[in-house]
Amino acid sequence: MKKLTIYFSLLSRSVILLIMLVFATTVVFAIVPDPKTKKKVKPTTTTTTTKKQTPASTKKQTSTKQKQVTTHKWKYEGKNSEGLTAVGDTNNKWGYIDKTGKIVIPCQWEFAWDFSEGLAAVQDANDKYGYIDKTGHVVIPFKWKEAWSFSEGLAAVGDSNDMYGFIDKTGQFVLPCKWKRARPFRDGLAPVEDGHYKYGYIDKTGKVVIPCQWKDAESFSEGLALVKNFNGKYGYIDKTGRIVIPCQWEWAEDFHEGRAEVKDANGKWFKIDKTGKVVKEYK
């Protein structure tokens, strides 16, 4: 009887412990969050992250667009002159960009010269030349077969008869088209070719001040002008027509900062001063 009593006592304790264990388990599960509920929070977090990335994404797209503007590759590109550069696109049309690479005057011309004295000579679809200002506005109509940049207020132009003269910035003739060829005025003189295929120099009244005697001649640069004789040799003259550096070079360039590059009969290049003295020999 005593053993039975002990047995029932132990059984009662076991039941009590079992009940307490079940109760504790229920409480624990009630406190710990459901894993499924925790997963539902992730979309909200993802949405927040996406919103934070949007400004960065927009900034990246903007930077790419600016890069395309400033690193545009042109088929042809001149030199910067008066803040603008003549460029040719892949369709062989010409326009102008500024120093940042931004297109200022759209590519629409068949050819374009550098700006000089506020105007630039451009060629239209009919192969005629006229002049535009820096806004792209046509200020001198398209009617010239050839045209040079303005220099000292005048520009050399060629008509349909292949004769050259000079116009001012209004497009009016200052010197009529009577020369076979003409190049820009510099130092008050301009090289022109007569009817006998000889070059000389005229002043702004049209008077010949250096006789036509050269096979070719360039505009003056730093007080000297490059000329070519009928033996095919190059030299330099001053504004009186006097030969300062004899015609002995196979090729030569204009003077810049007191120096000019020349090439001899052996194909060797030198740099000379205004007396004709060699100051540098290229190896």
Domain with residue 104: its CATH number is 2.130.10.10
What burial class does residue 108 get, using C-beta atoms within 10 Å of its C-beta: 0-12 exposed, 13-18 middle, 19+ buried?
A: middle
Among the three residues 138, 156, 179, which one is the final residue of a domain in this structure? Answer: 179
| Claim to verify: residue 166 and residue 212 sit in the same structural domain | no
pLDDT in tens, 85-144: 999 999 999 999 999 999 999 999 999 999 999 999 999 999 999 999 999 999 999 999
| Claim to verify: residue 103 and residue 154 sit in the same structural domain | yes
Residue 214 included in any domain: yes
**pLDDT for the residue numbered 254:** 97
**pLDDT for the residue numbered 129:** 98
Among the three residues 179, 211, 227, which one is the final residue of a domain in this structure? Answer: 179
Residue 218 included in any domain: yes
Amino acid residing at 218: E
**pLDDT for the residue numbered 20:** 52
**pLDDT for the residue numbered 26:** 44
| Claim to verify: residue 195 and residue 170 sit in the same structural domain | no
| Claim to verify: residue 163 and residue 81 sit in the same structural domain | yes
pLDDT in tens, 207-239: 999 999 999 999 999 999 999 999 999 999 999
| Claim to verify: residue 138 and residue 220 sit in the same structural domain | no
Please give the Cα distance from 201 to 13 (Å, whole number). 131
Task: Compute φ and ψ for 235, nearest 5 degrees.
Answer: -155, -165
Which percentage of the chain shows pLDDT scores above 70? 75
| Claim to verify: residue 214 and residue 165 sit in the same structural domain | no
Residue 13 included in any domain: no
Residue range 244-270: average pLDDT?
98
| Claim to verify: residue 153 and residue 216 sit in the same structural domain | no
| Claim to verify: residue 135 and residue 203 sit in the same structural domain | no
Range of the domain at 105: 64-179
Which percentage of the chain shows pLDDT scores above 90? 74
| Claim to verify: residue 219 and residue 256 sit in the same structural domain | yes
Instruction: List strand residue ranges (DSSP E) for 162-222, in order.
Output: 164-167, 173-179, 181-182, 190-193, 199-202, 208-214, 216-217
Where residue 242 falls among pLDDT bands split at 50, 70, 90? Answer: very high
Whether 270 has a pLDDT exceeding 60, the answer reads yes
Residue 279 included in any domain: yes
| Claim to verify: residue 162 and residue 241 sit in the same structural domain | no
pLDDT in tens, 161-175: 999 999 999 999 999
Residue 206 included in any domain: yes
Whether 1 has a pLDDT exceeding 50, the answer reads no
**pLDDT for the residue numbered 253:** 98
Residue 74 included in any domain: yes
State the sign of the Cα–Cα–Cα–Cα dihedral 154, 157, 159, 162.
Answer: positive
Across-strand partners of 140?
131
Among the three residues 179, 206, 221, which one is the final residue of a domain in this structure? Answer: 179
Residue 59 included in any domain: no
Residues in the chain: 283
pLDDT in tens, 26-62: 444 443 444 333 333 333 333 333 333 333 333 333 3
**pLDDT for the residue numbered 73:** 80
- How many domains does the structure of the chain reveal? 2
CATH number of the domain bearing residue 196: 2.40.128.630
Whether 252 has a pLDDT exceeding 60, the answer reads yes
**pLDDT for the residue numbered 249:** 98
Residue 197 included in any domain: yes
| Claim to verify: residue 85 and residue 157 sit in the same structural domain | yes
Please give the Cα distance from 208 to 210 (Å, whole number). 6
State the sign of the Cα–Cα–Cα–Cα dihedral 73, 130, 170, 218.
Answer: positive
